[in-house]
Structure 1
Amino acid sequence: MVASRTAALPPAVIEAAKHRILDTFGAMISGARMKPGLAALKYVQALGGKPEVGVVASQFRTTAVNAALANAMFAHADETDDFEPVTKAHPGCSAVPAALAMGEKNNASGMALIRAVVLGYDLGCRLLMALGPDSVRAGHRSAEGTSSTYCALGSAILAPLGETGMRHALSYASQQVSGLWSWIDDEDHIEKAFDFAGMGARNGVMAVTMVESGMTGVHDVLDGTHNLLKALSAKPDPAALTTGLGKDFFVTRSAIKTYTVGYPNQSALDALLTLRRENKLTADMVKSILVRLPTDAVGIVGTSAMPDVNNPHLVSVALLKGAVSFDDAHDVALMKNPQVLAIRARTTVVPDESLMDPAAPRGAIVELTLNDGRVLKHHTRFPSGTPENPLSADEVSAKVLDLIAPVMGKARAQRLIAATWQLEKMPSVRQLAALMRV
C-alpha cells in the first residue's frame, strides 16, 4: 500500500482507471437527484460537520467521512455503477467517492487519485478472492458490502501514513467490514445504496482519518490469531491477497454497464436486443420468451420490485421498444403498462447451471419462440462493457454525458468529462471537485 504511491502504473491501467472514475462520476451526479441520493444529502446536511469536502451536485460541504458517505450513496442510488463479475463486487461506487473525499481534503494530485482508486479496486476485490466469493454469499453475507470498506481503503495512500499507519488503518477498516445479503429485499434502493457503497466509503475514510489523527491499532489484523480472513471464511486463501499484486490489476477487470440496470440483466438484454435487431422482430411476432440466467442470479433479478432490477420486466420493455433507456428502466408505471404486462405474461426466467461459468459468470441465454413456429436463440457470454467486450472512451463519455447533463448542464458536464480524461495531469483534485458543484 505504501509502495503504490510511487510504483509505475502501466498506461493501460491508468486508462482503465479513468474509464471507471468517469463512469462512477456519472453514477454519483445522476444519483444525487434520485430518491436514495436525496435521502443521503438530507442526512449529511443534518449532521453538519467541518466543511472539508464537497458533496457533489450541491453546494454543501462537510467532513471527508460524511461527504464520502453521501457521494457513495449517490453512486449506487441506481444500477449505473460498475461490477466485477468474478467477485460480484461493485468497486467503483465506494473506491471513487472515498478517494475523491481524501483527495480533496488533503489536496492530492489527479495522479494520486488514480493510484488510490487502482489500489482500492485491488484491496476490495482481493479481499473477496481471499475469502472466497461463493463462500461469502453462502454465509448470507453480501459480497458487495463485504468488499466495499476495503475498496474505500485505497484512499489511505492520500494520507501521510507509513507502513505502521497502513496496518492500523487496515485494522480499523477490518473491524467495520460487514454486509448481509438481505439487501435483496430493499424495494426503494435506499438501504441498498448504503449497503453497497455508502457504508464502505464511510468506513474506509473513517479508518484512514482516525489513524491520520494519531490513533493506533492492531498490527496484524490479516494474519494474527484472530484475523479477518479466519473470521469471515471457513477456507480462506491468504495468498489471493498478493498473487500478481502490482502486475494484475482488478481495475482492468470490472464491467462498465451499458444499460443502467442490475448487472445480471446486462447479458439478457444484450441477447434479446440482438435477436430483435438481427431478425427485425416486433413484439407481436413473439409467442414466448425464455431467459436462462446463472443460478445465483435468478434470486436477484427474477422477481424484484425495482423495475431496473426485474429481469422479466426489462426484457419485456426491450422487446416492445427495441431499447431500454434510463427513463424506461426507472419508470414504475411501465410495470403496469398493459403492453408490457402482456409480454411479461409470456416471459419465463429460469436458472441454468451451465451458465455458472467462472470464465463468463454473468452470461445469459435468451430463446424466442415465434408465432410462425421458429425458435431463435442467442447466448451472450460477455455483454458490451466487459473487459472482453469493452466500451471505448467515446462510449463511456456518451453514457456519462447522458446521465449528468440533466443535473449540471451540457457545457459543464463536458468540461468535467474532458478534465477526467486528463486527470493524470491535474495538479489538484480540488479543481475536479469544483467542477462537480451545482
Structure 2
Amino acid sequence: MKEYPSSGVSQQVSFLAEYIAGTLDRELPPEVAAETKHHVLDTLAAILSGSRLRAGRLAAAYVGPIGGAPEATVIGTSLAVPVVNAALANGMAGHADETDDSHLAGRFHPGCGIVPAALAIAERQDCSGTDLLRAVTLGYDIGARVTIALGLRKPDTSRHSTHSLGPAFGAAAAAAALLRLDPTQVRHVLSYSAQQASGIPFWQRDREHVEKAFDFGGMGARNGVAAATMVAAGFSAVDDPLSGKHNLFTAFGEDPDPSLLTADLGARFEIMRASIKKWCVGSPIQAVLDAMTALVETYRLSAQDARRIIITMPDDRIHIVDNRTMPDVCVQHLAALALVDGTVTFESSHDHERMNDPVIQSVRRLIELVPSAELTAAVPARQAIVEVETLDGRRLRHHAQAVRGTPENPMDRGEIEAKALDLIIPIIGSDRAKAMVEAVTHLEDVQRIRNLRELLTV
C-alpha cells in the first residue's frame, strides 16, 4: 500500500474534492446522460414498488412521526420530512426487494443509496433535472471507485460489505455536489463519510429483506446526506481522511490501491458499467433465469418433462441464493417457478405462498446446485449453466454468458420503460406513471425537481 505523509493534504484528495465541487458545472457526454436517466427511472420504479413492501412500509412509518421540516418527499406516500429521513426511507424502499440496479465491479447496488440521497437534496435545494443527472452520475463514479480502491476480496471472504460502503460515499458525493460545497468542505464531507462507514456482510442471513434494505440503501443514503448537510451547516472535520497513519484505506482496505479512487475520473463513467435487472430477483439469479426461460422457449419445456435439473453457478456467490427463505433471492424456488410458469414476474417472484406450492416443491427436489470456480473467473461475470435431463432421455443445456441488462447485453429503453411501468402503474395509476416516465426521459428539461412531487406521492 502506498504511504502518504502524516500531515497536510494529499494530492489525491485535493483532486477528488475539486472534481466533486465542480460537478454541477460540467456537462455530461450525451450517452452518459442517457444512461443516467435509465438508472434514475429504474430506481424510482424500485422505490415506488418498494414503498408497498415490508421494508418500505416500515421505513415510512418510522420517519413520519419524527416530524421536522418538510424538505423532501417520502416517495409513495403523502409525507414530506427532513432530507436525512427522506433519504433513509426512500433508500430502504429502493432495496425493499431485488428490483434495483447493481454494479458488478464495485459489488454494490448504487441506485438505492445514491438516487434517494441526490433526490432529497435536489428537492430541498430546488435544483434542476440537469443538476440531478450530474450529481447521480458523480455518485456512481465515487461509490464504485471507493469499493474498488479498497480491494475487498471475494464476496464470501470479505470482512466488510461493499454493498454498504459504496452507497455511503456515492450518496455523500452527490449530496455535496448538489449543495455546491467548496473543495475544503468536500474533504470534510469525505471525512464524515469515512467515520460513518460501516457494513458487515452478515446481511446474507437476513430473512425478511428489512435489515438488508437498510444495509444496501437506507444507511448509505442517510449517512451521505447527513455528512453533506452537517458540513453545509458549518461542521468542520479532518482535512484528509485518505492519508496519514490512520485513514480510510488502513481501516477498511484488504488489498487497497488508493490510486484507483481517482483513476480515469472524468473519462470513465461508472454508470456505464452498471446493470439494470431484467428480473426483479437477486443478481446472482439473473443468469439462471435467462438460461431456464431460454430452455422453456426453445424446447417448449414444461415441469412435466423434467427428471433432473443441474444449475451451475459461480462459487463465490452461490451461498447468497442457496435455499433462501425469501422467494426473490432463492435460486431453487425461482428456477422451479420459471419452469412451472414459463417465466417469472414481479408478482410471482414475491409470492411467499408459491414457495409452499406442491408443484413448485416437487420441481425443487429435482434441482442440484453446483458451485464452479471456472464460472467465478469467467468473463463476463455472473454466468450460469442450466441443464435439464428429461424423462424421454434428452439432456438440454443452456449457458447464459452475457446476462440481459448488463453492459455486455443491455436492455433497450423500451424494455426499461416497460419494466418501470409494470412496477409503478399499480401504485400511482397509468396516467401518472406514463407522465413520470416522460419526465425522466426529458429530465434535462425539468427546471425544478420539486415539480416531480405530484408524480411521486400517493
Place the TM-score, normalised by the shorter chain, in its bin.
Answer: over 0.9
User: Where does residue 162 of structure 1 map in the other structure?
Assistant: 182
SS at match of 2:39: helix
**Could you tell me how far apart the structure 1 residues matched to 2:349 and 2:456 are?**
25
Contact 2:152 2:254 in 1 (8 A): no
Whether 1:413 aligns to 2:433 is yes
Q: How is 1:336-415 mapped onto 2 (pairs within 5 angstroms)? A: 336-357=356-377, 359-415=379-435
Report the CA distance between 1:242 and its aligned residue: 1.1
Equivalent of residue 148 in structure 1, options 167, 177, 186: 167
Moved over 6 A (4+): none
Name the amino acid aligned to 1:359. V
Q: Which runs of 5+ in 1 are unaligned?
A: none
User: Where does residue 128 of structure 2 map in the other structure?
Assistant: 109
**Could you tell me how far apart the structure 2 residues matched to 1:380 and 1:22 are?**
26
User: Where does residue 219 of structure 1 map in the other structure?
Assistant: 239
Whether 1:33 aligns to 2:33 is no
Equivalent of residue 73 in structure 2, options 31, 54, 65: 54
Name the amino acid aligned to 1:228. L
SS at match of 1:351: strand
User: Where does residue 87 of structure 2 map in the other structure?
Assistant: 68
Please give the per-residue CA displacement for 1:10-47, whole angstroms capped at 9, x wherever unaligned: 11100110000000000000100111111000100121
Whether 1:268 aligns to 2:279 is no
User: Where does residue 256 of structure 1 map in the other structure?
Assistant: 276
**Could you tell me how far apart the structure 2 residues matched to 1:171 and 1:359 are?**
36
Q: Which moved more, 1:309-318 or 1:216-225?
A: 216-225
Q: How is 1:220-235 mapped onto 2 (pairs within 5 angstroms)? A: 220-235=240-255
SS at match of 1:138: coil
SS at match of 1:350: strand
**Could you tell me how far apart the structure 2 residues matched to 1:191 and 1:426 are?**
34
Whether 1:319 aligns to 2:339 is yes
User: Where does residue 132 of structure 1 map in the other structure?
Assistant: 151
**Could you tell me how far apart the structure 1 residues matched to 2:56 and 2:369 are?**
31
Please give the per-residue CA displacement for 1:382-435, whole angstroms capped at 9, x wherever unaligned: 221111111111111110111011011110111011000000121111112332
User: Where does residue 92 of structure 1 map in the other structure?
Assistant: 111
SS at match of 1:86: coil
**Could you tell me how far apart the structure 2 residues matched to 1:92 and 1:224 are?**
32
TM-score, structure 1 length as denominator?
Answer: 0.98
Contact 2:155 2:316 in 1 (8 A): no
Contact 2:152 2:255 in 1 (8 A): no
User: Where does residue 61 of structure 2 map in the other structure?
Assistant: 42
SS at match of 1:379: strand
Contact 1:160 1:212 in 2 (8 A): no
Report the CA distance between 1:135 and its aligned residue: 5.8
Whether 1:309 aligns to 2:329 is yes
Whether 1:430 aligns to 2:450 is yes
Q: Which runs of 5+ in 2 are unaligned?
A: 1-19
Contact 1:136 1:232 in 2 (8 A): no
SS at match of 2:369: strand
Percentage of identical aligned residues: 43
SS at match of 2:275: coil
Report the CA distance between 1:259 and its aligned residue: 0.7
SS at match of 2:402: coil
Name the amino acid aligned to 1:284. Q
User: Where does residue 19 of structure 1 map in the other structure?
Assistant: 38
Name the amino acid aligned to 2:123. E
**Could you tell me how far apart the structure 2 residues matched to 1:278 and 1:95 are?**
39
Please give the per-residue CA displacement for 1:127-149, whole angstroms capped at 9, x wherever unaligned: 11101142676233221012120
**Could you tell me how far apart the structure 1 residues matched to 2:180 and 2:268 are?**
26
TM-score, structure 2 length as denominator?
Answer: 0.94
**Could you tell me how far apart the structure 2 residues matched to 1:139 and 1:378 are?**
31
Contact 2:290 2:400 in 1 (8 A): yes
